[in-house]
């Protein structure tokens, strides 16, 4: 068997996700200068920027490495750094509780990913993506099914699909708003990258039920996410549940692509994947914007309870305009980007 290599991938999929990461992280980093000012000591602000830099760097490495062992290490770094950012307000008991739920769930997901990679390694003798892909062509279907389920649980936990979403409405609201923007806009999408990279590109979709399983989970996530969002009073928890719904919408495109691949309808498979990825970048933009606006509202009003908010449009007209734009996009109102990608799916 071939030895593992530690090269980088710069194919269209990696470059697309790298673009999305930078698209959301750059404005969030600029926003953090004003958001953190006055609320924390200079030492804690410096620590926040250091953690933010490592967080973004880990995500960038995650979507560009070409070795499963390195992927797992970077995945763990991303998870640990995001945990420290969730509990950044360590004086708040809710932050500690949210961090505990998040770290437990993310390590459960990591355990399933590690098991999947070890099974792939035992069959291919290498952690290199390309070697794994070649070896999977001769892999028994029973083994492929097991690895698919391991990947689905491992990546599904990070993506926040129902019923693996329990950490998401706790962690996103407790993190500083610029971190919530990156976590919801980008970090949970790294799981979508993982599903596309390891299930579609490496394992290869040969059976119909893989895509059908993802479609069912996607539909349930859409329904549960929007129902819980409608019942929320906390503005950031509402946005977190909205992310569960939108991950479901993205996975509708991915799941449809897998269904079409299994029945050899390649043109429809490509179109479905493009629609899903288009909604991914759209959601990253408008959800990132909404979390930043929610942070501005919280800084001004000192509360996230929407029942206690009112009349802010006069005092915060720029934030109100941006929030209206983001809300219209997430509501899929034409001609905004949320409508276009949902219509395509």
Distance CA 161, CA 323 (A): 25
Are the CB atoms for 240 and 264 separated by under 8 Å?
A: no
Output the pLDDT for position 220: 95
pLDDT score recorded for residue 10:
85
Predicted confidence at residue 3, as pLDDT, reads: 44
pLDDT at 230: 86
Q: Which residue has the tokens 């009003």?
A: 301
What's the pLDDT score for residue 235?
87
Counting DSSP H helices and E strands in the chain, the numbers are 15, 0
What's residue 4's pLDDT?
A: 45
Pick from 3-7, 46-50, 203-207: least confident = 3-7
Token code pair at residue 248: 């479901």
What pLDDT is recorded for position 6? 60
Q: Which of 93-102, 219-228, 261-270 has the lowest mean pLDDT?
A: 93-102
The tens digit of pLDDT for each residue in 152-177 reads: 999 999 998 988 888 888 887 788 88
With 90 as the cut, is the pLDDT of residue 21 above it? Answer: yes
CA count, 13 A, side-chain hemisphere, 140? 6
Q: Which residues have CB under 8 Å from 224's CB, separation 6+?
A: 162, 165, 244, 245
pTM, two decimal places: 0.91
Confidence category of residue 13, pLDDT binned at 50, 70, 90: very high
**Is-contact 319 293, C-beta < 8 A?**
yes
> Which residue in the block uniquely carries the two structure tokens 């698209």?
23
Domain locations in the chain as residue ranges: 12-344
């Amino acid at each position: 068997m071939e030895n593992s290599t530690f090269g980088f991938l710069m194919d269209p999929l990696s470059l697309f996700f790298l673009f999305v990461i930078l698209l959301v992280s750059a404005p969030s980093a600029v926003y953090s200068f004003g958001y953190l000012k006055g609320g924390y000591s200079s030492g804690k602000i410096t620590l926040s920027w250091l953690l933010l830099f490592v967080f973004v760097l880990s995500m960038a490495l995650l979507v560009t490495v070409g070795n499963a062992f390195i992927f797992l290490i970077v995945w763990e770094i991303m998870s640990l750094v995001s945990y420290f950012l969730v509990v950044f307000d360590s004086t708040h008991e809710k932050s500690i509780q949210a961090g505990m739920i998040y770290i437990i769930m993310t390590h459960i997901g990591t355990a399933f990913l590690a098991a999947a990679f070890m099974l792939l390694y035992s069959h291919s003798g290498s952690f290199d993506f390309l070697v794994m892909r070649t070896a999977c062509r001769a892999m028994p279907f029973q083994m492929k099914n097991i690895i698919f389920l391991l990947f689905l649980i491992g990546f599904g936990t990070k993506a926040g699909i129902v019923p693996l979403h329990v950490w998401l409405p706790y962690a996103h609201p407790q993190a500083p708003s610029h971190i919530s923007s990156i976590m919801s806009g980008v970090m949970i999408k790294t799981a979508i990258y993982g599903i596309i990279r390891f299930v579609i590109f490496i394992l290869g979709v040969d059976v119909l039920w893989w895509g059908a399983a993802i479609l069912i989970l996607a539909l349930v996530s859409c329904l549960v996410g929007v129902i819980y969002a409608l019942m929320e009073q906390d503005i950031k928890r509402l946005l977190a549940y909205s992310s569960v719904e939108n991950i479901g919408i993205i996975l509708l495109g991915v799941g449809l692509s897998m269904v079409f691949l299994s029945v050899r309808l390649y043109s429809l498979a490509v179109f479905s994947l493009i629609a899903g990825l288009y909604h991914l970048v759209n959601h990253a933009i408008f959800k990132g914007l909404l979390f930043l606006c929610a942070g501005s509202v919280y800084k001004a009003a000192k509360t996230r309870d929407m029942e206690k908010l009112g009349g802010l449009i006069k005092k915060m007209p720029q934030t109100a305009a941006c929030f209206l734009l983001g809300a219209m996009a997430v509501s899929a109102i034409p001609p905004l980007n949320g409508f276009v990608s949902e219509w395509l799916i």
